[in-house]
């Protein structure tokens, strides 16, 4: 029947989202992909030629910094994700199982409140805490615990600390939704059948929350490998991530074509990782009957 | 035992129950009467504020849930959705670290017992409500608990299936000799299955007794009213309870005469609402053992009953 195949008139409500997606993702990415295979800007420079030189430059890495930057990006992303999960899961579980509505609202506020201040502000706050003359080092030296300041920032440690702080709410919000939908009585049934609290959690709630773990981890990983401000401020000269390298190529080296190639590489690598991760967890949860 | 929530709401107030081994014991009452809270205290999910819980002479009030060795069938079954039927049933055995071959043997036997052989590898979501109910039962019984707790286990089933499961559950309980504590708000279910019933209201036990006793000799107005149809007769400031089937329709010697207002045909019987001359309303059950009753609205009938059938109520 012709009527049945006609799209719902409500489908037009998707138009704004589709427009945003095309304007701010498909189009820029297309431009970036095109730029990455030209020697210079093909619009302004008629002599621009097709080339793979920027990809070769990254692959050969004669300066010895590009591969390191890629690994640092992925490492920071991975550690940030794992730490966010370890901090976020217990918090989300506690929130999801909270009986009192008021308590739930208060904790939710506490989780969301940091998101109301900008990333730059929060990163600066961490700088005042972690720097050599910051709160922690000053206190430890005053108490005589240490004699010279601990290297708490201008390195990957400081970067991860600040990134975790920024991205934990994303993890918590994603997980709370999923854990909240798991029937509490399942855990009670497990306990009734002879499982201690921890065992009941591991056997029942944890596997059933795998979809939330998957979604939250992907979100935090994607956000932290593309972070620019926090690694730049917290990492000092010790940390160079791919987004920082891209900014350098655009801002100080005036090489937008190489920057474009780096952007494509970052996207490709993270896509591969996301797909692989998705596959693994989907298989895990498929075995659990959740897929 | 007593349990309060938030320090205000008294959910269970001074309930004392003495349940015999091997007994089918029902906690019956409307929602919010404290029956489920009582069951959850026995299971260990709630701790009584005061009072103790003993099983077979052992005080288990402070024993952790997973060490109480009690089977439980939840209202919504609480089957593990990520595990197969066999894995669900095996769970309790696995927690008890029983050898794998032994687990396999017992799971098989338990599934055969509830007529689910062949469905081992299904997920709970692929089963019908009745089948899920059986899995929950098998999962609870496979560890051979001395006590089985059931929280409205048949509530989600349709009427026909519920009746069938009532027979099966009762039969299973008798065969295994397990002590069964059964929570329900369905008085018919409680009457049909139980050896004894505790009728609860507002956190208190109103009456404990065998089904016939509860039905025939209700002690309070609440019990009389909650179970089956009832006529409450007020005589000189005292209330008496009279079952509709204890009222006879007579031509001579009527205590009361009145007019039939409505006649509800129920299959095996007809329930009449009769309005007496002085404005009182009576429920009368006419059974159709012989020929069909022929009373119609508007008919004038005489009502009679014997004094011993009008049970004096407390309070």
- ipTM associated with this complex: 0.82
CA dist B185 and B30 (Å) reads 5
From A192, A199, A207, residue closest to B82, measured CB to CB: A207
- Give the range among A55-69, A271-285, B217-231 with minimum mean pLDDT: A271-285
Q: Indicate the domain borders of chain B.
A: 3-216, 230-312
Inter-chain contact B78–A208, Cβ cutoff 8 Å? no
Express each pLDDT in B82-127 by its tens digit.
999 999 999 999 999 999 999 999 999 999 988 899 999 999 999 9
Q: Where are the domains of chain A?
A: 68-245+272-287
| Interface residue of B37, B91, B141 to substitute, partner A, most A CBs within 10 Å | B91
pLDDT at B56: 82
Question: pLDDT tens, A248-266?
Answer: 999 898 899 999 999 999 9
Which two structure tokens, joined as six digits, stand for A94?
A: 């506690």
Q: What is the mean pLDDT of residues A270-282?
A: 85
Residue range A139-149: mean pLDDT, rounded: 89
Report CA-CA distances (Å) from B35 to B41, B105, B182, B203, B208. 10, 36, 9, 8, 13
Going by the DSSP 8-state scheme, the letter that residue B2 receives in this structure is B
Instruction: Give the CATH number of domain B3-216.
Output: 3.40.50.300
Whether B83 contacts chain A with CB within 8 A: yes
B215/B196 Cα distance (integer angstroms): 11
The three-state secondary structure class of A281 is helix
Q: CA–CA distance from B279 to each of A252, B258, B266, B282 (Å)?
A: 100, 9, 25, 10
Whole-model pTM: value is 0.79
**How big is chain B, counted in residues?**
315
Q: φ, ψ for residue A168 (rounded to 5)? A: -55, -40
| Predicted confidence band of residue B228 (pLDDT cuts 50, 70, 90) | confident
The hierarchical CATH code for the domain B230-312 is 2.40.50.140
Cα separation, B71 vs B44, whole angstroms: 12
Kindly report the CATH number that applies to the domain delimited by A68-245+272-287: 1.10.3720.10
Q: Does B292 touch chain A (CB under 8 A)?
A: no
Burial group, residue B22, by CB count within 10 angstroms (0-12, 13-18, 19+): middle
B8 in A contact zone (CB under 8 Å): no
Cβ distance of B91 and A203 shorter than 8 Å = yes
B123 lies within 8 A of chain A by CB: yes
pLDDT digits (tens, 9 = 90+) for B250-262: 888 888 889 999 9
Residues A40, A32: Cα–Cα separation, whole Å: 12
Q: What is the mean pLDDT of chain B?
A: 88
Max CA pair span of chain A = 83
- Residues from chain B that touch A199, judged by Cβ atoms under 8 A, are 66, 95
Name the residue facing B80 among A186, A196, A199 (closest C-beta): A186
In DSSP terms, which residues pair with A95 in a beta bridge? none
Rounded CA separation B7/B11 (Å): 10
Q: How far apart are CA A94 and CA A96, in angstroms?
A: 6
Tens of pLDDT, residues B137-164: 999 999 999 999 999 988 878 888 888 8
- Spatial separation of the C-alpha atoms in residues A290 and A282, rounded to whole Å: 8
Joined together, the tokens standing for residue A285 give 């949860």
Does A192 contact B65 at a Cβ distance shorter than 8 Å?
Answer: yes
CB contact under 8 A, A192 and B43: yes
CA nearest to A96, candidates A223, A212, A215: A212
Note the pLDDT of residue B98: 93
Looking at chain B, which residue has its C-alpha nearest residue A209?
B82
């Amino acid at each position: 029947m012709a009527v049945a195949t006609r799209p719902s008139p409500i489908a037009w409500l998707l138009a704004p989202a589709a427009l945003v997606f095309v304007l701010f993702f498909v189009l820029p990415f297309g431009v970036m992909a095109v730029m990455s295979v030209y020697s210079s800007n093909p619009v302004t420079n008629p002599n621009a030629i097709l080339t793979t030189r920027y990809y070769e430059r990254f692959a050969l890495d004669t300066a010895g910094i590009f591969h390191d930057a890629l690994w640092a990006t992925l490492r920071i992303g991975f550690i940030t994700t794992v730490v966010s999960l370890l901090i976020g899961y217990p918090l989300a579980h506690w929130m999801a199982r909270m009986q009192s509505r008021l308590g739930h609202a208060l904790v939710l506020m506490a989780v969301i409140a940091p998101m109301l201040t900008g990333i730059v502000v929060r990163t600066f706050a961490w700088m005042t805490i972690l720097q050599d003359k910051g709160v922690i080092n000053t206190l430890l030296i005053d108490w005589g615990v240490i004699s010279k300041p601990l290297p708490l920032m201008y390195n990957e440690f400081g970067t991860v600390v600040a990134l975790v702080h920024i991205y934990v709410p994303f993890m918590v919000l994603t997980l709370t939704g999923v854990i909240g939908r798991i029937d509490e009585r399942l855990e009670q049934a497990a306990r009734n059948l002879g499982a201690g609290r921890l065992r009941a959690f591991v056997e029942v709630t944890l596997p059933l929350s795998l979809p939330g773990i998957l979604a939250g981890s992907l979100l935090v990983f994607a956000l932290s490998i593309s972070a620019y401000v926090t690694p730049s401020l917290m990492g000092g000269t010790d940390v160079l991530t791919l987004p920082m390298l891209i900014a350098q190529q655009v801002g100080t080296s005036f090489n937008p074509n190489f920057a474009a190639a780096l952007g494509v590489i970052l996207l490709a690598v993270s896509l591969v990782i996301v797909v692989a991760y998705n596959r693994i967890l989907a298989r895990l949860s498929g075995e659990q009957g959740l897929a | 035992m007593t349990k309060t929530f938030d320090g205000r709401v008294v959910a269970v107030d001074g309930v004392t129950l003495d349940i015999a081994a091997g007994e089918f014991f029902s906690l019956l009452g409307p929602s919010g009467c404290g029956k489920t809270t009582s069951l959850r205290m026995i299971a260990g999910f709630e701790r009584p504020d005061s009072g103790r819980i003993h099983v077979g002479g052992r005080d288990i009030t402070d024993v952790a849930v997973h060490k109480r060795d009690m089977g439980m069938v939840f209202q919504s079954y609480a089957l593990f959705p990520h595990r197969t039927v066999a894995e669900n049933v095996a769970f309790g055995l696995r927690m008890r670290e029983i050898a794998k071959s032994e687990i396999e043997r017992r799971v098989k036997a338990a599934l055969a017992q509830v007529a689910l052989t062949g469905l081992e590898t299904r997920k709970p979501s692929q089963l019908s409500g009745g089948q899920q109910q059986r899995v929950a039962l098998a999962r609870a019984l496979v560890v051979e608990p001395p006590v089985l707790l059931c929280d409205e286990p048949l509530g989600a089933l349709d009427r026909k299936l519920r009746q069938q499961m009532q027979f099966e559950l009762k039969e299973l309980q008798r065969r295994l000799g397990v002590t069964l504590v059964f929570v329900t708000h369905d008085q018919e279910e409680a009457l049909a299955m139980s050896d004894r019933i505790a009728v609860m209201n507002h956190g208190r036990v109103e009456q404990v007794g065998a089904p016939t006793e509860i039905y025939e000799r209700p002690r309070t107005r609440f019990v009389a009213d909650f179970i089956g149809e009832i006529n409450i007769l007020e005589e000189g400031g005292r209330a008496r309870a009279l079952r509709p089937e204890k009222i006879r329709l007579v031509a001579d010697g009527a205590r009361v005469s009145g007019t039939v207002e409505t006649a509800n045909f129920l299959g095996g019987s007809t329930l009449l609402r009769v309005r007496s001359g002085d404005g009182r309303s009576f429920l009368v059950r006419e059974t159709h053992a012989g020929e069909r009753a022929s009373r119609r609205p508007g008919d004038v009938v005489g009502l009679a009953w014997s004094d011993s059938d009008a049970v004096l109520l407390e309070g």
